[in-house]
Structure 1
Amino acid sequence: MDILKKPVFDALDRMGIPYDVYEHPAVFTSEDAAAHWGDLDGTPVKNLFLRNKKGDREYLVILGIEKRADLRQLVKVIGDDRLSFGSAERLMATLGLTPGSVSPFGLLHPASPAVRVIIDTDLRGADRLIFHPNVNTSSVTISFGDLEKFLASRGNTVRYIRV
């Protein structure tokens, strides 16, 4: 088993969270991944790793794959200054991930407690969600309720906002 996936599966198992795993070729965007998710039981999502202008706050934004995040509008709603995508170096330092593998499971990384999580309110109605288990060659499905359980266990600030 890939050393990056094992901590994810161990954490889910420890918390009693059921999940399904699907292997696929490496994908680097949510659009690429969608080509392999056709038969999966779950709502495809994309995960954006963002930082504010000052560089003193990071955000993980989770939204449906069909949506585009309006960063200007998001700034107004969350009350921060300008947002931009975090660099590959910052992503590695904060979540222990590489571009193309961003997911809430990166919150298992020791440097992640300050990351603020924003979930699009439209996902609340989803039965199951599809994420990468810290690698872009697999996908995992878990229930929305179990995502909330996982996030609560990490202690990160979570906000629900219509993105």
Structure 2
Amino acid sequence: MDASSAFQDTLPLSSDGLLAQLDAWGLTYRLHTHIPLRTVEDAKGVEDQFLVPGERTLRLKNLYLRDKKKRNYLVTLEQSRDIDLKALGAELGVGSLSFGSADRLLQNLGIRPGAVSPLAMINGVQNDVRFYMDAAAQQADVINMHPLVNDRTVAISRADLMAFFDRITCAVNWLP
């Protein structure tokens, strides 16, 4: 199975279910459908069509990581930011980090590779996943991310994203 909406009903929470929850909480977003985006390079090919002139939009890359003590992390960065996992582990004070497996990704965040997103913390908070976000998000008007599948993108305001994190009781740790 891939990470597209064609298989969303096999996830613990479907993309449609997530969007319904956002609606129920009164959080607004713009939904875009597109070809499945598996990498940052794929996203760069379509995301320009989502941009609104004058809006400061943050485009993301997301990393699902584990440390040697088997603690799980979701790290969300501005998509062009370079990352050194050894330096990141030292900065977080957790030692070395490595990428988590597809099985653990599904188990802990309820998604498949290619659909990693801050919105997956709706599942991650229940599994003690620690969330870190690039401080650049604090300057964005809108943040683009996948709603648990990789053939959809939501453009959500920074304020509504923070309200989402409050609703699910997710602590946001800011990365400089």
TM-score, structure 1 length as denominator? Answer: 0.91
Give aligned-pair identity as a percent.
35
Distance 1:108 1:146 in 2: 14
Amino acid at match of 1:39: Q
- How many residues are aligned here? 161
Distance 2:118 2:129 in 1: 10
Aligned to 1:138: 152
Bigger share in helix: 2
Shift of 1:144: 1.2
Structure 1 residues 70-111: Cα deviation after superposition (integer angstroms, max 9, x where no partner): 222221221112111110010010011110001122122277
2:20 matched to 1:27?
no
Question: 8 Å contact 1:95–1:107 — kept in the other structure?
Answer: yes
Q: Where do 5+ consecutive residues of structure 1 fail to align? A: none
After TM superposition, the structure 1 stretch with the greater mean CA deviation from structure 2, 23-32 or 85-94, is 23-32
Distance 1:112 1:101 in 2: 19
2:132 matched to 1:122?
no
Question: 8 Å contact 2:65–2:97 — kept in the other structure?
Answer: yes
Shift of 1:10: 1.5
Amino acid at match of 1:119: M
Question: 8 Å contact 2:65–2:72 — kept in the other structure?
Answer: yes
Q: Secondary structure at the match of 1:46?
A: strand
Structure 1 residues 29-84: Cα deviation after superposition (integer angstroms, max 9, x where no partner): 122112110121332111111111221x1111111111122222221221112111
Which of 92, 95, 102 does residue 78 from structure 1 map onto? Answer: 92
Shift of 1:136: 0.6
Q: Secondary structure at the match of 1:49?
A: strand
Aligned to 1:49: 64
Distance 1:61 1:142 in 2: 18
| CA distance 1:96–1:118, shift in 2 (3 Å) | same
After TM superposition, the structure 1 stretch with the greater mean CA deviation from structure 2, 121-130 or 69-78, is 69-78
Q: Where do 5+ consecutive residues of structure 2 fail to align? A: 52-56
TM-score, structure 2 length as denominator? Answer: 0.85
Question: 8 Å contact 2:125–2:169 — kept in the other structure?
Answer: no
Which of 95, 104, 116 does residue 102 from structure 1 map onto? Answer: 116
Question: 8 Å contact 2:66–2:97 — kept in the other structure?
Answer: yes
Question: 8 Å contact 1:115–1:156 — kept in the other structure?
Answer: no
After TM superposition, the structure 1 stretch with the greater mean CA deviation from structure 2, 39-48 or 18-27, is 39-48
Amino acid at match of 1:70: D
Structure 1 residues 89-134: Cα deviation after superposition (integer angstroms, max 9, x where no partner): 1001001111000112212227744111101112210110100111
What's the C-alpha RMSD, in Å, of the aligned pairs?
A: 1.7
